[in-house]
Structure 1
Amino acid sequence: MGDDMPEPVIMTMAAVLATKAATSAFGGLVRWVKEQLSPEARAALEAAVEAPEDEVRVGELSRELERAEQANPEFGRELRERYDRAKVEIHADGGSVVSHISGDVSGKAVQARDVHGGINL
């Protein structure tokens, strides 16, 4: 993609990492990302977390994440998988119901929160 404008997904991930770093779902992801990054990229992450409303800092984090992903596609794949799992966890907070079905699945699925009685399929 180049240095001009990071991929939109990376930009979204950077913004979420910066703003949700203190949450339980994303805190673990932020720690993992820090362990994977170069010192320069780690500094960009820390700066974005300190000021998540600063578009320049979040933009720099986006560029660093994209560089890291280009240098190590395995990091990029793992980042996207962990990010998707963290999104599911954050949506499940507060007693809501979240279903996440992936892979080769067939048959019926039921999503429910409070069931009083039986379920017949």
Structure 2
Amino acid sequence: MQAPEILAAPIDPAPTPLPAPDQADPATAPATAPPPPPGATPPSPSTQASGPRPRTAPGEGRDEGLQQAVQDVCDVLALALSPEDEAALVEMDGTALATLLDRLKRERRWPLP
């Protein structure tokens, strides 16, 4: 039995160098936004496509994340929150939310008053 012949494409020993940035082909260059007209107001941070979102208060994002975590744990444990419980979550600060989350995970029930 004869071994199969393996066909391979020849390797180019000298690859074509990339053009300098100022000589790039405009058809393949990435699209960029045109410069703003003179006197135009720069875009606000909330309308920019990338970068971190600004927060209005220190720790606000952490508190929202902890509120969501408490709600998620309650969902997993099939604990229904009353409207009063949900309102209380919004009023809690990060420390209280973290304590509540730890208690929920440990006791697996909604804390009684």
TM-score, normalised to structure 1's length?
A: 0.27
Structure possessing the higher relative contact order (Cα contacts under 8 Å, 6 or more residues apart): 1
User: Between Structure 1 and Structure 2, which shows a larger proportion of helix residues?
Assistant: 1
Larger Rg: 2
